[in-house]
Amino acid sequence: MTNPIQFDLHIGKEKPYSAKGAPCPFCRPESLTNILERRSDMIWLMNKYPVFRDTWPTVLVETSQHDSDISLYSPEKLHEVIAFGVEKWRETATRPEFRSVLYFRNFGPRAGGSQRHPHSQIIGLYHYDYRENIYPENFLGPLLHEDADCYVTLSDYPICCMAEFNVTLKKDGGTDRFADAVQTIARFVLRDFPIPCDSYNLFFYEIRGRIRVKVFPRYTASPLFMGYRITQVADGTSRQHMLDTLRSDRYFGG
């Protein structure tokens, strides 16, 4: 059993929450400190509120546009955001002091983020390897899209969510079409998911040298999972409907 990561509630209480009307710190880039790197209007910096103990927490502000999102980015913006994020994540992962490095993103009120402004997080973990909690089977399932750079599946054995979509970067694949696939799934989740869904997460994994990202629709978590770790998967008819919609010309078939 892996030990939990400590969450510092004292720091958590000080964080500004945009849903509570706090001014957005990422809309005032001149006030930001501990900046690691800038590229076009993107800023990679240390997280001012390091709530997770024994970690090296960073934030990647993806754009100067407060109300934008991956699901709304132009192709050029989308490609530069994912290329920058993957580059900095992998660079961080080569640092020997970390056992593993997280790269994830929240969107919407149910995704667990405190800021609306589009951003992702890259967090080095000194003592924790997230891969110990993840099985290769968590990415397996019917193929719904494939191109020269990536392929997309719907999980048969999800980690916890009843419809988890996986985008896998092929060996030597480029990140542009990988990013396009992520955007297509994010749009599907927000527009056509079988239950109304206004939130999603992206979680990136590097397992056995292969880069994958899960697109997680977020809604109120099931008590069966919260209390018993019983994973649920959508019924066969609903799964087929999602696959048919995603393969249609509204999404990957277009």
Which residues here bind Zn ion, judged by CB under 5 A?
Answer: 24, 26-27, 66, 117
C-alpha closest to that of 35 among 25, 48, 44: 44
User: CB 19 → Zn ion: shortest distance, Å?
Assistant: 13
User: CB 31 → Zn ion: shortest distance, Å?
Assistant: 12
Of 25 and 124, nearer to Zn ion (C-beta) is 25
User: CB 117 → Zn ion: shortest distance, Å?
Assistant: 3
User: CB 119 → Zn ion: shortest distance, Å?
Assistant: 9
Using DSSP, state whether 62 is helix, strand or coil.
coil
User: DSSP code of 85?
Assistant: H
C-alpha closest to that of 154 among 241, 92, 28, 35: 241
For helices 236-247 and 175-192, what crossing angle results, to 10°? 130
Structure tokens belonging to residue 118: 């589009």
User: CB 25 → Zn ion: shortest distance, Å?
Assistant: 8
Of 65 and 222, nearer to Zn ion (C-beta) is 65
C-alpha closest to that of 105 among 137, 142, 78: 78
User: CB 142 → Zn ion: shortest distance, Å?
Assistant: 38
Supply angle C-alpha 226, 227, 232, rounded to 5.
Answer: 60
Of 24 and 221, nearer to Zn ion (C-beta) is 24
Do 195 and 219 contact (CB within 8 A), yes or no?
yes
Do 51 and 7 contact (CB within 8 A), yes or no?
yes
What is the residue type of 132?
A: E
User: CB 140 → Zn ion: shortest distance, Å?
Assistant: 38
Of 23 and 209, nearer to Zn ion (C-beta) is 23
Separation between Cα atoms, residue 156 and residue 125, nearest integer Å: 29
Of 62 and 80, nearer to Zn ion (C-beta) is 62
Which residue reads 């983020």 in tokens? 113
Of 16 and 57, nearer to Zn ion (C-beta) is 16
Of 117 and 145, nearer to Zn ion (C-beta) is 117
